[in-house]
A and B are shown apart, each in its own frame.
Chain A
Amino acid sequence: MKSGSIIWNAGLLILLAAVPLLAHHSFAMYDHTKTITLKGSVTKFQWTNPHAYIEMDVTEKGAVKHYSVECTSINMMQRAGWRSNILKFGDQVKAIIAPLNSGQPGGLLLELTLPSGKVMDPGVPAANTFTRTPEK
């Protein structure tokens, strides 16, 4: 059992070491230790490369705060089932993001729940290295 876990850990290390090769852009700007859950209204879905962006307004303590949410390449997203018309202005969505280390109102999308309830994965490389904070 012990040796099995050593092998597994070694495999994980190799996997982590290989991670930079799987992505063109670094996601180190984002906090890997916590996530925040945004519930708000889509103001724009920017369907572009190198990355797509979801612009959204979130009401926090009675005031509207704007967030920019970075996704991945639209090529990767298409391979994961995303389409350019999957979001439109005014859609109410839930986004789980890794916040920007800079404190700016933005983050990296790890999971999006569409108005239909369907959950979309943007295919962030090494998404499992981001620690999820339980939703309040």
Chain B
Amino acid sequence: MRLALLVCALCVLAPLDAIAQRGAAANTPDITGSWERHRGGPGQARETIPPAAPQPPLKPEFLKEWQDRNRAAREADAKGTPLANNATLCLPEGMPGMMGATFPMEILQSKGQVTVIEEAFTQVRRILLDQPQKAVDDVEPGFYGHSVGRWEGDTLAVDTVGVKENVRYQNVPHSANMRIRERLHLVTPDVLWNEITIEDPATFEKPWTFTIAYRRMPGYQLLEYICEDNREFADENGLQKIRIGPTER
């Protein structure tokens, strides 16, 4: 009798579960696939191009640090002796830099998770759906941090904490407590906007919000990217140098 009840319960629950899964898939936008940065150009609808990012609203002391660093980089470039940076060392961009999609980017939607892969440096981040966010102190600092997300209607809202202080987007300083909020939504079937808001009361006077747009790359499969032989290096003065000379055939 008990067995019969259990079987009966399974008969009822199994289809409900299947319906729930189908329902979720039917109700959430399909953003799976390859994307590239969308900056406009011939044949592209102007209204799909987001406005340019404003300057980061840093507190005065951090704004000065940022401006001094940028000026030093510009002056070093003008002298033809660029400063070394994370890219010189072949380090990945981390968050939110990888969402700038300098190279093509792939989004994969699976049960309970949205995965973003950036072709450059084979960067991978996992957005855990419908999970509570951890306290910053419970996340080991990393390049991508800990991301949770949920669908709010047609918008994927993502919250990220735990990005290392030396992982900087456009050299902008931040504390270990930085929080990145993202709102991803399709503005046309083939253009995706990511409204990014960076909150960090220790370094910012107010949240910094800017939008990055992507367009679909139908049929494009991401290529491998391994920093196999980086000939660029930082010398003892922090300048970018390069190893040249004959190598074995």
Contacts and interface: CB of A to CB of B under 8 A. Distances in A.
B246 A75 contact: no
B77 interface: yes
B249 A105 contact: no
A43 interface: yes
Interface string A7-38: 00000000000100111111011110000000
Contacts of A18: 39
Q: Which of A26, A44, A75, A101 has the most B CB atoms < 10 Å from its CB?
A: A26
Interface string B46-60: 000000000000000
A48 B229 contact: yes
A113 interface: no
Contacts of A21: 100, 102
A90 to B, nearest CB: 10
Interface size for chain A: under 10, 10 to 19, 20 to 34, or 35 or more residues?
35 or more
Interface in B227-249: 227-232, 240-242, 244-249
Interface in B63-89: 76-78, 80-82, 85, 87-88
Name A's interface SS: mixed
B102 A24 contact: yes
Interface size for chain B: under 10, 10 to 19, 20 to 34, or 35 or more residues?
35 or more
B20 interface: no
A75 B242 contact: no
B90 A50 contact: yes
Contacts of A50: 90, 227, 230, 232
Given A22-B102, A48-B229, A106-B242, A75 B223 contact: yes
Contact of A89 (B230, B244, B249): B249
A66 interface: yes
A51 B231 contact: yes
A59 interface: no
B196 to A, nearest CB: 14
Given A50-B90, A100-B242, A31 B80 contact: yes
Interface of A: 18, 21-26, 28-31, 43-44, 46, 48-51, 53, 55, 66, 68, 70, 73-76, 78, 89, 100-102, 104-106
23 contacts: A21-B102, A22-B102, A24-B102, A24-B120, A25-B87, A26-B77, A26-B88, A29-B241, A29-B242, A30-B80, A43-B246, A48-B229, A49-B228, A55-B246, A66-B246, A68-B244, A73-B120, A75-B225, A76-B103, A100-B244, A101-B80, A104-B244, A106-B244
